[in-house]
Amino acid sequence: MRRILKIGWLFVWIVSCNYAIAQSKDLRKLAKYLTGSFSSEQQYKADTVNYFDIRLKVTPIWQERKDGFWLYVEQAAANTLDKPYRQRIYHLTEKTKGVFESEISTFKNPLRFAQKPALAATVLSPDSLISREGCAVILRKKDKKTFEGSTDGKKCPSELRGATYATSTVTLTDKSLLSWDKGFDANDKQVWGATKGGYVFLRQK
């Protein structure tokens, strides 16, 4: 009987280890896909009415930590890179096998870190961040080369341009990031964000 129990525990341990390895591999791939410099210039040139030339840069920080991946994010118009209109910290973790969460946080006086991710990594710490409750993006593997996800319903609050909540949908590959952020008022009418479709950010490096 003891031998059977030992074999059973050994089997559970092996399965757990294999899952941990798979989880770690997928999480690393997601972080790698998201890290880098991206541009919507090509989309803008094809449709200047509905889109702007936006640059997105995502830089890993706090790489010594073992609780997932931490990323410093800047989004700015191509002609004002030194004045990004969005600065965030993303915290990537794997909740269950094949299901990932990108928690979104802000921080005080963000422009002091514009184009200075190393400074942000030095000055900020996880406990100094301001979590955007309800705004986490849940991502799943669509296939071996694609992750897809979104925020959860109306849970992400927004006060921008009369909005009461915001939504985000994301499709991520090794070459591109499709992101569609939209704000809605209390009557579910869209009040900000692209209306024709999401922004297509192509990887620059």
Handedness of CA 77, 82, 83, 84 (dihedral sign): positive
Condensed to tens digits (0 to 9), the pLDDT of residues 134-193 reads 999 999 999 999 999 999 999 999 999 999 999 999 999 999 999 999 999 999 999 999
What is the CATH T-level fold of the domain 2-203, as seen in this structure? Answer: Lipocalin (2.40.128)
Nearest partner of 51 among 204, 202, 203, 193, judged by Cα: 193
At a CB cut-off of 8 Å and minimum separation 6, what does 76 contact? Answer: 54, 55, 82, 83, 84, 85, 86
Determine the Cα–Cα distance for residues 43 and 53; give it in Å rounded to an integer. 8
pLDDT of 205: 79
pLDDT of 26: 94
What is the amino acid identity at position 84? P
The secondary structure of the chain in percent helix, strand, coil, rounded to multiples of 5, reads 25, 40, 35
pLDDT along the chain (205 residues), means of 10: 43 40 78 98 98 98 96 98 98 94 98 98 98 98 95 97 98 98 98 97 94
Q: Can you list the alpha helix ranges (DSSP code H) found in 70-148?
A: 117-123
What SS3 string covers 5-20? HHHHHHHHHHHHHHHH
Q: What angle do CA 71, 97, 177 make, to 5 degrees?
A: 40
Burial 159-170 (b: 16+ CB within 10 A, else e): eeeebebbbbeb
Q: Indicate the pTM of the whole model.
A: 0.87
At a CB cut-off of 8 Å and minimum separation 6, what does 27 contact? Answer: 68, 69, 92, 93, 94, 100
pLDDT of 167: 98
Q: Domains of the chain: which residue ranges?
A: 2-203
At a CB cut-off of 8 Å and minimum separation 6, what does 137 contact? Answer: 101, 102, 104, 149, 150, 151, 168, 170
Chain centre distance of CA 189: 25
